[in-house]
């Protein structure tokens, strides 16, 4: 079962968003409504190349509190995987990561969208996942190749991160495991139509594979396959692959 922790506004979009999640089997019991606030919204402009520019209005997402995490603590503690990103307050995210750590739940921090200053201890998560732009901001040097990404991953290790995965779009992904071994997983060649949800698909498949016993390079390959499927379709939620579609991409079907 997938459970989502968050907040919705009390606007017209709230019910639609909740229904969409529930229609896809997501437990929304930990997503209360916030009165007087709109639901979080993203306006996405997609170029012909499939790359995008996203304007985010946080809305109710900015109202998620540590108290909300306390209320959802049992759900986190009994999970196999906690996946968090940075569209909610950082202190709230850190609180969720601490609950996961205390209960030996594997956690992944997808540090996106990256704020000007990241206040979360990178080592609070079992794995840090960022794209090349986010990684470049964190290490303060440009990333143009897999070699640059590996250098950045080692720098992030020095900053406290335990495992690091840096996604590189058409160049695949680079990972640095907790034992210091590095890995490169090549991308799956697809015609990119809309990369909006490619990163989300990657992180979800990566995290799931790891808690199911995959090695880091195996999990990165599954992440690349999921991201490739998502990038080949329009939209965000509608582009996310099913498990069957993921397996077909991996099999080259």
As averages over each run of 10 residues, the pLDDT of the chain (253 residues) reads 97 94 96 96 83 87 98 98 98 99 99 93 98 97 98 98 97 98 97 92 99 98 98 93 96 82
Name the token pair of 80.
Answer: 């196999």
Of 30, 148, 194, 200, which residue is the catalytic one? 200
CB distance 2 to 25 below 8 Å? yes
Q: How far apart are the C-alpha atoms of 244 and 238, rounded to whole Å? A: 15
Quick one: pLDDT at residue 42?
Answer: 86
Q: Provide the pLDDT for residue 109.
A: 99
CA-derived radius of gyration, the chain: 17
Nearest to 228 by CA among 171, 188, 175: 188
Task: Give CA–CA dist 160/86, Å, rounded.
Answer: 18
In this predicted structure, what is the pLDDT of residue 48?
A: 81
Whole-number pLDDT of residue 253: 63
Domain ranges of the chain: 62-251
Cis status, amide bond into 113, omega within 30 of 0? yes
DSSP string, the chain: -EEEE--EESSHHHHHHHHHHHHTTEEEEE--EETT-PPPEEEEEE-TTS-EEEEEE-GGGGG--HHHHHHTHHHHHT-SEEEEESSS-HHHHHHHHHHHHHTT-EEEEE--SPPSS--S-GGGSSEEEEEHHHHHHHHTS---SHHHHHHHHHHHHHTT-SSEEEE-GGG-EEEE-TTS-EEEEPPPP---S--TTHHHHHHHHHHHHHHTT--HHHHHHHHHHHHHHHHTSSSSGGGPPPHHHHHHHHHT-
Query: What phi, psi does 56 have (nearest 5°)?
Result: -110, 130
CA-based nearest residue to 6, from 24, 27, 32: 32
Predicted confidence at residue 232, as pLDDT, reads 95
What is the topology classification, in CATH, of domain 62-251? Answer: 3.40.1190
Q: Known catalytic residue: 27?
A: no
- Let me know the angle formed at the C-alpha of 240 by 238 and 7, rounded to the nearest 5 degrees: 75
């Amino acid at each position: 079962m997938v459970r989502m922790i968050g907040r919705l506004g009390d606007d017209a979009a709230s019910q639609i968003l909740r229904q969409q999640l529930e229609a896809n089997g997501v437990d929304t019991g930990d997503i209360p409504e916030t009165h007087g606030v709109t639901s979080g919204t993203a306006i996405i402009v997609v170029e012909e190349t499939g790359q995008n520019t996203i304007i985010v209005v946080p809305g109710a997402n900015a109202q998620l509190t540590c108290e909300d995490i306390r209320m959802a603590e049992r759900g986190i503690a009994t999970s196999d995987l906690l996946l968090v990103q940075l569209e909610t307050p950082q202190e709230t995210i850190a609180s969720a990561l601490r609950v996961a750590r205390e209960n030996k739940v594997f956690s992944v921090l997808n540090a996106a969208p990256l704020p000007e200053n990241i206040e979360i201890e990178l080592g609070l998560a079992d794995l840090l996942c960022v794209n090349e732009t986010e990684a470049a901001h964190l290490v303060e040097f440009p990333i143009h190749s897999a070699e640059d990404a590996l250098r950045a991953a080692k720098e992030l290790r020095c900053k406290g991160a335990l495992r690091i995965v840096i996604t590189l779009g058409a160049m695949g992904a680079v990972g640095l495991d907790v034992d210091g071994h590095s890995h490169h997983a090549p991308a799956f060649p697809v015609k990119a139509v809309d990369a909006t949800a490619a990163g989300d698909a990657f992180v979800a498949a990566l995290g799931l594979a790891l808690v199911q016993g995959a090695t880091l390079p195996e999990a990165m390959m599954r992440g690349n396959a999921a991201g490739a499927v998502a990038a080949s379709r329009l939209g965000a939620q509608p582009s996310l692959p099913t498990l069957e579609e993921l397996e077909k991409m991996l099999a080259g079907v």
